[in-house]
Structures are given as structure tokens and as C-alpha cells.
Structure 1
Amino acid sequence: MDKVKILERYMPVEAAPLIGRWIDYFKCEFKISRNRNSKFGDYRPPYDGKGHRISVNFDLNPYAFLVTTVHEFAHLHTWNEHKQKAKPHGTEWKLNFKKMMQPFFDKEVFPPDIKQAITSYLNNPAASSCSDLNLYRSLRKYDVKDESIHVVEKVPMKALFKLKDGRVFRKEEKLRKRYKCVEVSTKRVYLFSPVAEVELVED
């Protein structure tokens, strides 16, 4: 099947032809991956006879899929220009991300709130990567809602929640940007991102 037709299943239709051209131009292996809780996407530079490789999680909403795809292609482009000399989310990468995002802004692919969040992210040198919470929250609004899933910042204080692996935690206080949570079985303390996805447990 034509790669553009496949891409149209996962991202806004009007964005698919350009991403298809990028795959060809950069001679990139582009993989639609299973869900990975730790990341939305991944870029790997040429190594051991293999070319550029990008993977993006299959279960992202179309806007999150496109933002992640552009994010990873910006890593590829930055590697081509600077090899290992550029920081992963440094100035060179941000310039390329901004430049590569522009065609999708011109086509008005994104809703205004996501466009604003991307622009704000790119103008904020303190944001180290696309774990930028403002951008993440904007993208999440377009997810298909699962009523059983909550983010840690919405879980009541002292309430119990569990992860996909079954471990149960009690939410304690907020420490700067993260939440202190105690694993019930071991009493060990962990710090959770406010947007980590969890399931509530009856006390």
C-alpha cells in the first residue's frame, strides 16, 4: 500500500504527503510502533550499516502523531548537519523543529490551541524537550477519552492509584513540578510527573 495512504490513517490527511516525501528524501526507515509508556517516538541515527530510523507510537491522536513525527525528523535533520556535536534538544534542534513545523502551520493543520502551544514551546529556551507540559496538555485534549484513566495531578491527595504493572501508590504532596507518591507495598517514595496516566483504586 502507498505510504501516504498509510500515514493518512494516523495523522491529519493534509500532512501525510509531505511526511511521505521526507521519508523518501532522508532515506529513512519509518516505523509505526506499539505503545511505549516512556516515549511517544524515537529517532536513531545511521549505525552498523543501518540508515536513519524513526518510530512513532500507533495509538497517538492525529495531532500528537504529527507533532511527534516532526520532532523526530528534526532530530534526523540536526544529526545530518551536526552529527553528535548538537545537544538533543538544543538550539540547532529547535531551529530545525521550528523550520520543519512551518509548512503545517501554513496549511493550518493544527487547531489554534495546539499551534499556540507549539509556538510557546519553541519560544521557551528553558523547555528541554517535548515533555513540555503545556504542549502535552493541549495534545491530550484531542485523545479519545478513557474514563478509567486519570493524570496524577487530578488524583485527590492521599488517594490510591495504580500503574499498568499493578503497583499501587498513595499520592502525597507536590514538590515543585512533580508529585511525591509512596508505593503502598514497599513504602518507597517516587516522584511522578503531573501528567502521568494512572488508574484510581478504591481505598
Structure 2
Amino acid sequence: MDKITVLSRYLPPDAAPLIARWIDYFNCEFKVSRSRNSKYGDYRPPYQGKGHRISVNYNLNPYAFLVTTVHEFAHLHTWNEHKFKAKPHGTEWKSNFKRMMRPFFDKEIFPQDVKRAIVGYLENPAASSCTDLTLFRTLRNYDVKKTAEAAMITVEKVKANSLFKMKNGRVFRKEGLIRKRYRCVEVKTGLVYLFNPVAEVFEVE
């Protein structure tokens, strides 16, 4: 099966041909990965005989998959230009991300709310990565949730001092906001963890 056909399963179909060309042009190993809670995508530069490697979580909606893919290719392009001299999400990366996103804007692949969130993210110097909350909240509006996931809410919507449960069954009590993350205490161990506001959990009655 050709790359475009495979990529069309995960990307907006009109975006697949360009991503396929990038994979060939940059001679990149591109992997559709299992779901990872800590990240949506990953880029690894050439190392010990291996070339450029990009992985993107399989369960992202098409717009989130495309944003994450372009994000990682911008890392690749920045590495080719600057190696270790450029910061991971510095001005060089931002410039490449914006330029590499342009063809998808021109094709009007993104809904207007997603496009506005991407532009806002790129213009906001405080947003150092794709964990920009406005962008992620907007992208999640396009998620198609399974029945079991329909009852999930984000940590920011859990009431203070209330309990919530992760998918793996661990139960936490939500406390206060520390900078951009919520301080939460695991009920069983008493250990403190900081949660991303948009992390999805189940309320505990």
C-alpha cells in the first residue's frame, strides 16, 4: 500500500500527498505510534547510523495528527540547518514551523478555529511547544470519542478538592494551580503530581 493511502487514514486526505513527499525528500523514517500520554509526537535526529525518525500517535484526530506531524518535521528541518545550535522551540524552529504550515493554510485544510489557534500559538512567545492550551483545546473539539471515553473530562473542569480517576484506575485529589499545572495528590500514596489542565480523567463521585 502506498504512503499516501496509508497517511490518508490519519491525516486530512488533501494533506497526505505533501507529507508523503516530505518523508521521501528528508529520507525520514515515519512511524504511526501507539498512544503516549506524555507526548503526541516525537522527532529524533540521525544517530549511530540511523537517519531522521518521526513518530506520531495513531489516535489523534486528523487535524491534531497534521499539526503534530508538521511540528516534528519543523524540528527535522531545523536540525538540518542548525544541528545543536538552535533551541528546541526557538526562533529558528518557529520560523520553519510557520513556513511549513503555509501550504496547508493555502489549501484551506484547517477549519478556521484551528487555523486561528495555530496562528495565535506561533505569535505567542510564551508558548514554547505544542502544549499550548488554546491550540490543544481547539484541536480536541474535533476528537471522536468512544463510548467509554464520553464520560471523561479535563482536569481543569474537576472541582477543587474533588477526586478524579485516571484510565489506569489511580485516584487523585485535585488541589491548587501551580503556574500552568494543577497540584494533585494521589490518594493511595500521598505523592504529589502536577497535571496538565487538559489531561482527560474520570470524575469520582
Q: Which bin holds the TM-score, normalised by the shorter protein?
A: over 0.9
Q: Partner of 1:171 in structure 2?
A: 174
Structure 1 length-normalised TM: 0.96
Q: Partner of 1:9 in structure 2?
A: 9
| Structure 2 unaligned regions, length at least 5 | none
Q: Deviations over 1:11-38 (max 9, x none)?
A: 1010000000000000000000010010
| Structure 1 unaligned regions, length at least 5 | none
Stretches (4+) displaced over 6 A:
none
Q: Residues of 1 paired with 2:93 and 2:127: CA distance?
A: 12
Q: Partner of 1:63 in structure 2?
A: 63
Shift of 1:201: 1.9
Identity across aligned pairs (percent)?
A: 74
Q: Quick one: which amino acid aligns to residue 166 of structure 1?
A: G
Counterpart selection for 1:150 from 145, 149, 153: 153
Q: Partner of 1:121 in structure 2?
A: 121
Q: Residues of 2 paired with 1:4 and 1:31: CA distance?
A: 14
Question: How many pairs are equivalent?
Answer: 202
Structure 2 length-normalised TM: 0.95
Q: Partner of 2:82 in structure 1?
A: 82
SS of residue matched to 2:197:
coil
Shift of 1:196: 1.1
Q: Partner of 1:36 in structure 2?
A: 36
Q: Residues of 2 paired with 1:73 and 1:24: CA distance?
A: 12
Q: Residues of 2 paired with 1:182 and 1:49: CA distance?
A: 44
Q: Deviations over 1:47-67 (max 9, x none)?
A: 111110000000000000000
RMSD value over aligned CA atoms?
1.0
